[in-house]
Amino acid sequence: MMLQKKFKQAAAAFIAALLLLAGSNAIAQPADAVAKVAKAMTDSLAYLQLTDPQKSSADALNKTAATSLLQTAKKAKADTSFRGKALAQQVMGIMKTRNTGLQSVLTPDQQKVFQEHKISQMADVQTKIMTAQLSLTEAQVPQVYKINKEATAEMMGDMGKLKSAGGKFAKMKAAKGLKGDMKDKNKEMKKVLTSDQYTIYEKHQEEMKAAMKEKMQAKKGK
């Protein structure tokens, strides 16, 4: 499905970039490769203006993540069966663990900036995908990005409510909020896209829904 395909492509691209960053001697000198990747990960957090103790904690988290990522990259390079969904899940799991640890050492203000940065990145990826899929014009791109960013923020908020919901009613309310977020997003997209673009957009939305449904059914079957 389209959503799974994008995750697989993103994971493969991430691993390729990781190996390029680590250099050709990543396997021969793994300690040097880990230090190089961890430094790049820590440097990418400059926007948070971390204190020295926070940088130390972030660097430790990044070294752990870099070690796991390079081991994953090594496995993917040697084992052709370790690709696609398995690779994507491994990469996302490593980064999720790192991000959870990172947020525990951030101040409330930094956590807010970190979350906003993550939302911006997600909106940027969505917009780039839509630009390729729908052949967006230069005028449409910033409008679509704005819609994606606002919708992502709303949906992440409601997903947080759904995860923390304690009762059936609270879960239903949060789920209803998520559906409402998507309806609002589609309504705004319809104002910006041409009729042909919106038809393609709706098709991809259905593919993503089917992929999510398949994933949920797979989890229930375990």
Query: Is 222 in the same domain as 118?
Result: yes
Q: Which of 54-68, 87-101, 169-183 has the highest mean pLDDT?
A: 54-68
- In the chain, how many domains are there? 2
**Per-residue pLDDT at 215 exceeds 50:** yes
- Residue with more model confidence, 9 or 78: 78
Q: What is the span of the domain harbouring residue 140?
A: 108-222
- Residue with more model confidence, 221 or 134: 134
- Residue with more model confidence, 157 or 15: 157
Query: Is 118 in the same domain as 101?
Result: no
Query: Is 117 in the same domain as 204?
Result: yes
Distance between CA atoms of residues 157 and 137, nearest Å: 30
**Per-residue pLDDT at 213 exceeds 70:** no
Query: Is 189 in the same domain as 170?
Result: yes
Give me the pLDDT at residue 208, please. 66
CA 26 to chain centroid, in Å, comes to: 25
- The lowest-confidence range among 57-66, 72-81, 194-203 is 72-81
Give me the pLDDT at residue 4, please. 45
Query: Is 48 in the same domain as 58?
Result: yes
Query: Is 96 in the same domain as 170?
Result: no
Confidence band of 160 (pLDDT split at 50, 70, 90): confident
Query: Is 1 in the same domain as 97?
Result: yes
Query: Is 78 in the same domain as 112?
Result: no
Asked which of 106, 131, 157 is the last residue of a domain, the reply is: 106
Q: What is the largest CA-CA distance in the chain?
A: 56
**Per-residue pLDDT at 130 exceeds 70:** yes
Using alpha carbons, select from 217, 150, 160 the residue that is nearest to residue 182: 150
Query: Is 150 in the same domain as 190?
Result: yes
Q: What tokens does 118 get?
A: 């993550």
Q: What percent of the chain has pLDDT over 70?
A: 75
Asked which of 106, 137, 167 is the last residue of a domain, the reply is: 106
Distance between CA atoms of residues 62 and 133, nearest Å: 34
What residues contact residue 57 under an 8 Å CB cut-off, 6+ apart?
Answer: 105
Distance between CA atoms of residues 48 and 58, nearest Å: 11
Distance between CA atoms of residues 43 and 55, nearest Å: 9
Query: Is 74 in the same domain as 117?
Result: no
Helix (H, G, I), strand (E, B) or coil at 194: coil
How does DSSP classify residue 29?
Answer: S
**Per-residue pLDDT at 96 exceeds 60:** yes
Asked which of 62, 87, 106 is the last residue of a domain, the reply is: 106
Query: Is 133 in the same domain as 221?
Result: yes
- Residue with more model confidence, 128 or 81: 128
DSSP the chain: -HHHHHHHHHHHHHHHHHHHHH-TTTTTSHHHHHHHHHHHHHHTTGGG---HHHHHHHHHHHHHHHHHHHHHHHHHHH-TTS-HHHHHHHHHHHHHHHHHHHHHTS-HHHHHHHHHHHHHHHHHHHHHHHHHHHT--TTHHHHHHHHHHHHHHHHHHHHHHHHH--SHHHHHHHHHHHHHHHHHHHHHHHHHS-HHHHHHHHHHHHHHHHHHHHHHHHHHH-
Q: Rounded mean pLDDT of the chain?
A: 79
pLDDT one-digit tens code per residue, 6-15: 444 554 555 5
**Per-residue pLDDT at 30 exceeds 70:** no
Query: Is 2 in the same domain as 53?
Result: yes
